[in-house]
Structure 1
């Protein structure tokens, strides 16, 4: 880990409101995995965001908007997030979203295939499209027209936009985690 965790009693006046907002949002939206140390220091991508609170606030607001305004079903979202995490080999992202997907009933076989950066054979039509969009975008370049057109037919324009933004958000999260070598807490 390249940035030390910040205990709550060591937060600056600029970091404290962001920390409080993150803890509130984490408690209601990101509670399937370990996000803080015993002393209250935030782990995962939240710690790097706290180190740069102006940038961290913008990323956190984007994260909250993507959560609060979600229209895609969560199974579709988790497929896309795991595809991105596997592509970037972002250990904490994979750890966190395996926990979310397990809580929602995703099978170990599907999780194993997704985290191996492969396409599971048992995806629903919607999950299949989410996989293809996330897979193509996380490799760089323009999203191929057949993939984009299928996403529009499957989800409509608004939800396709959401899916593209979701892939972008989790690419940012993955780069943050990898850039700062954020470790994975032990699973209980």
Structure 2
């Protein structure tokens, strides 16, 4: 996931100056997607060049001016496109959290299908972990190294179980928000 999509989401939630955006980003999306202030400014420039955002001068008081960025239709379209794109390997969880924020800002977009896809992936991973546990760690007299290896596997099992529980809580919200077939979105 590029930081650009996280920034577009944040700007859709509230148009901001680069400085204010960086501060807000640190307190919200930044908890699961990090970006330095320098990176944020660099990406804002790239997004402006791409026609995704525009900046307007805003009087701040005492004669100081700042640029306030807002999302243009092309940026909104790019974010909507990205939300429905399957997550790349290794970025699924972080990207999904940003996609949920984007769905809240501009949805409904149909993110329920991506959530269902990720649920199937996590369910398959959990089943694999449980099969490994049964195969390799079912003996009652495991050595300390084996118990430590099992502890690592249990961490993965518990992580998958918690993620699946959370996803099953979110999926009905996405289904209620999903655009209807043949209807207006």
TM-score scaled by length of structure 1 = 0.30
**Higher RCO structure, 1 or 2 (CA under 8 Å, sep 6+):** 1
TM-score scaled by length of structure 2 = 0.31
